[in-house]
Amino acid sequence: LGRRMVPVTAVMRQGPDLPVVDRSTDLIDLLAVMSAKRMGAACVLDADGVLAGLVVDGDVRRHLQSARRMAGVTAGELMRRDPRVVGQDATIGDVLARREGDGPGWLVLPVVDAARRLKGMVHLHDLDGGAA
């Protein structure tokens, strides 16, 4: 029970560990960021640091399977425009309850403030031990 009360901010990745791009980032650079940050996703931010969308590995794979092109593709084209997020005041228990309610459809969640500015990201693996 104690672990469930831990703030998500205590386990989230932040600062230079975040995979962050803008809408105009091309596919090759997007993949480089996603690979370097090892979260399987990248947050797409606008100029004010507000979360505009999220690109996950599966989005890239689906694009390549259907469109079969890499040239000229940007993060803005691939991003999910209304991704699931969690507020910076959430606890590990809140995130785990959300996962149970949503079903097994996600591995990462952006952590945002009330204005949807990115504060961090939490990966399901960051929560290991939180369910016990």
Q: Domain residues of the chain, as ranges? A: 3-127
Longest CA–CA span in the chain (Å) reads: 49
Q: Which tens digit of pLDDT belongs to each residue from 68-108?
A: 777 788 999 999 999 999 999 999 988 888 777 776 667 89
Among residues 86, 87, 84, 92, which one has the least CA distance to residue 127? 92
Angle between helices 27-37 and 57-67 (to 10 degrees): 150
Q: Is the pLDDT of residue 116 over 70?
A: yes
Average pLDDT of span 123-132: 65
Give the three-class secondary structure for 15: helix
Q: Is the pLDDT of residue 129 over 60?
A: no
CATH fold of 3-127 reads CBS-domain (3.10.580)
pLDDT recorded at residue 132:
35
Query: In the block, which residue shows the tokens 């803005």?
Result: 76
pLDDT recorded at residue 77:
92
The whole model's pTM is what?
A: 0.86
pLDDT recorded at residue 99:
76
Q: Which tens digit of pLDDT belongs to each residue from 22-72?
A: 999 999 999 999 999 999 999 999 999 999 999 998 888 888 888 777 778
